[in-house]
């Protein structure tokens, strides 16, 4: 039997409706819609498209998005100052720093400058530390999207062996700690891992976030496993493809999240969910 597909688009439609209600309740509490500041440096066209889409989705669910566009010549001091002003602005509930930064600007400046109480993409030192310590915190939205997809898809995690391919600061590593919080047994593979297939074949849940098209093929998957494809790559004919070869994996896996239409549609919504749920998330005992 071919794998059951996890329909991220349908889940996103439900989540969007749910979020609209939560955002309205939060706006009533605040006296204004929750505010999201999207900060970007330079004029990268892909980043501009992403910002426009995110702003549109924000407005649709009832979050007031503003874009703070800094010139490519922006100094680290100016970036820190801008983030400091947003930290102090009471109409801003969430700050998203678009990555990657130009090489002149350090990740440290951003990680140190965003107030963890507004760090809705979970990249600050405070958020990373809290995640490590199992304290309530914001988390990177892609990781939150993966867990949302698994939860809505009815995939159990406690006690199960999850293998993650990819160990980046924004996907693989934080996801490993989020899965530990859910009592999974976690293995993290990366570019220097020897014999990748020997690890992926052990996975009851396999999560691939490496940014390499067709990295995972059918013979690398344990029969019946759940396979989550986080990758976004451009295929031979300009189409969007993931890191998992769907044609060979579908007959082997039990459950598969496709690209496009899996994790992707949930990512921006999870960022907005964290933006409107902020206080509840940060004060709660068991965050996402
Ligand atoms: P990254 O380049 O920062 O990290 C890639 C990780 O994969 C590294 O840890 C690297 O060691 C590992 N890796 C690379 N090639 C490998 C190989 N051949 N074998 C084993 N490990 C390998 O990338 P990232 O920012 O973590 O993103 C990963 C992928 O997820 C990209 O395709 C990106 O576009 C996608 N992504 C998707 C979303 C979404 O919303 N769906 C969000 C963020 C990133």
* Half-sphere exposure for 130 (CA within 13 Å, toward CB): 23
Helix orientation angle between 8-30 and 141-152, rounded to the nearest 10 degrees = 120
* Spacing, Cα 27 to ligand 1 middle (Å): 36
Decide if 253 contacts 145 (C-beta within 8 A): no
Q: Which two tokens stand for residue 110?
A: 């951003």
Q: What are phi and psi of 274, to 5 degrees?
A: -65, -35
- What is the full DSSP assignment across 128-194? HHHHHTT-S----HHHHHHHHHHHHTT---TT-EEEEE---TTTHHHHHHHHHHTT-EEEEE-TT-S
Q: Which atom of ligand 1 is nearest to the CA of 266?
A: 40
* Spacing, Cα 228 to ligand 1 middle (Å): 13
Decide if 138 contacts 121 (C-beta within 8 A): yes
Q: How many CB atoms lie within 10 A of CB 52?
A: 13
Instruction: Give me the pLDDT at residue 284, please.
Output: 60
Q: Which atom of ligand 1 is nearest to the CA of 215?
A: 18
Express each pLDDT in 113-145 by its tens digit.
999 999 999 999 999 999 999 999 999 999 999
Instruction: Give me the pLDDT at residue 287, please.
Output: 43
Instruction: Give me the pLDDT at residue 214, please.
Output: 97
State if residue 99 touches ligand 1 by the CB under 6 angstroms criterion: no
State if residue 174 touches ligand 1 by the CB under 6 angstroms criterion: no
For ligand 1, pick from 49, 168, 173, 262 the residue to mutate: most ligand atoms within 8 Å of CB.
Answer: 168
* Half-sphere exposure for 212 (CA within 13 Å, toward CB): 9
Query: What residue owns the CA closest to ligand 1's atom 6?
Result: 166
- Between β-strands 94-97 and 185-189, what pairing exists: parallel, antiparallel or unpaired? unpaired
Instruction: Give me the pLDDT at residue 46, please.
Output: 85
Burial 153-167 (b: 16+ CB within 10 A, else e): bebebeebbbbbbbb
Nearest to 202 by CA among 179, 224, 171: 224
State if residue 240 touches ligand 1 by the CB under 6 angstroms criterion: no
Query: What residue owns the CA closest to ligand 1's atom 34?
Result: 232
Express each pLDDT in 161-190 by its tens digit.
999 999 999 999 999 999 999 999 999 999
Q: How many CB atoms lie within 10 A of CB 18?
A: 12
In the predicted model, residues of the chain with pLDDT beneath 70 are 284-288
Q: How many CB atoms lie within 10 A of CB 285?
A: 6
Distance from C-alpha of 40 to C-alpha of 38, rounded to nearest angstrom: 7
For ligand 1, pick from 101, 143, 209 the residue to mutate: most ligand atoms within 8 Å of CB.
Answer: 209
Q: Which two tokens stand for residue 252?
A: 């082997």
41 Cα distance to chain centroid: 20
Q: Which atom of ligand 1 is nearest to the CA of 172?
A: 26
Instruction: Give me the pLDDT at residue 288, please.
Output: 43
Nearest to 145 by CA among 110, 116, 174: 174
């Amino acid at each position: 039997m071919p794998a059951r597909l996890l329909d991220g688009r349908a889940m996103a439609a439900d989540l969007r409706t749910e979020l609209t209600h939560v955002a309205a309740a939060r706006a009533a509490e605040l006296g204004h819609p929750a505010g999201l500041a999207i900060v970007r440096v330079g004029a990268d066209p892909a980043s501009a498209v992403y910002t426009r889409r995110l702003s549109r989705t924000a407005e649709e669910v009832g979050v007031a998005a503003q874009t703070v566009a800094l010139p490519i010549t922006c100094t680290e001091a100016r970036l820190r100052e801008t983030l400091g002003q947003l930290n102090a602005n009471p109409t801003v509930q969430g700050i998203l720093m678009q990555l990657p930064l130009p090489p002149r600007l350090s990740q440290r400046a951003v990680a140190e400058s965003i107030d963890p109480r507004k760090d809705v993409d979970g990249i600050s030192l405070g958020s990373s530390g809290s995640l490590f310590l199992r304290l309530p915190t914001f988390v990177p939205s892609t990781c939150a999207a993966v867990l949302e997809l698994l939860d809505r898809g009815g995939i159990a995690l406690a006690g199960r062996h999850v293998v993650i391919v990819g160990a980046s600061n924004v996907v693989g590593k934080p996801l490993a700690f989020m899965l530990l919080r859910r009592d999974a047994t976690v293995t993290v593979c990366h570019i220097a891992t020897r014999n990748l297939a020997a690890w992926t074949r052990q996975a009851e849940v396999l999560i691939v976030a490496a940014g390499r098209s067709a990295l995972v093929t059918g013979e690398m998957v344990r029969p019946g496993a759940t396979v989550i494809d986080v990758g976004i790559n451009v295929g031979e004919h300009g189409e969007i493809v993931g890191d998992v070869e769907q044609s060979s994996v579908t007959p082997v896996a039990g459950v598969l999240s496709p690209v496009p239409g899996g994790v992707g549609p949930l990512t921006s919504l999870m960022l907005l969910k964290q933006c409107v749920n902020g206080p509840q998330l940060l004060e709660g005992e068991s965050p996402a």
